Amino acid sequence: MISHRKDVPGSGSIQGVYYAFKRVFWDNDRNYGSLVLISTEKRKTIMSCILRASGKNFDVDKFLSQTKLQPCAVFKKGKPKYQARPKGKKNEFSGINIEVSNADFNQLDQQIQDAIKFLQKNKDEVRNLIDFLGLDSESEIDFAIEKRNVRAQTDYFPPKLLVLAGTLGLGIRLSIYPCDEGR
């Protein structure tokens, strides 16, 4: 499913410098969409740090009508998980994904700084999201990073981020992806 963004030049167009699409990941039978931007000139993939919130009885439309937060992905309970298979498996949850950072996979420090700024700026909106009726699953900020070629990959999250996220009721997830072999 192409996710058109007004702030991305050439969005939705392969002829443009940039185009956007929704890449979907599945974890424990939940739909996790992420916004991925691909530069057609440099072939550099950028994946966002994403705030995810979902629930079996979460009224996405009602929440979105009451918030300033802009989702990069929306999924609804009972709707097809795969648009290409409308008669296939249906979503068991409704939810939204909100872009927190568009820093690259190898820029965890930048993702963290962006997340801190996002949470500070949107504290009330995020609190309203977490407290919204029907949001019965754990909400989280998912940091996407690349797998490094090291014996032990360790990454650090500063207390400032952990306190902000924890105070708002958000968990932290670290998703590690294989790096591009062409780099």
> Residue type at 141?
I
Q: What is the pLDDT of residues 72-105, one digit of tens each?
A: 999 999 999 888 898 999 999 999 999 999 999 9
Q: What are phi and psi of 94, to 5 degrees?
A: -110, 150
The full set of domain ranges for the chain reads 18-177
Reported as type and span, the H/E element at residue 175 is: strand 170-177
> Residue type at 12?
G
> Residue type at 7?
D
Q: What is the pLDDT of residues 30-57, one digit of tens each?
A: 444 443 433 333 334 455 799 999 999 9
CB atoms within 10 A of CB 35: 22
Reported as type and span, the H/E element at residue 159 is: helix 159-168
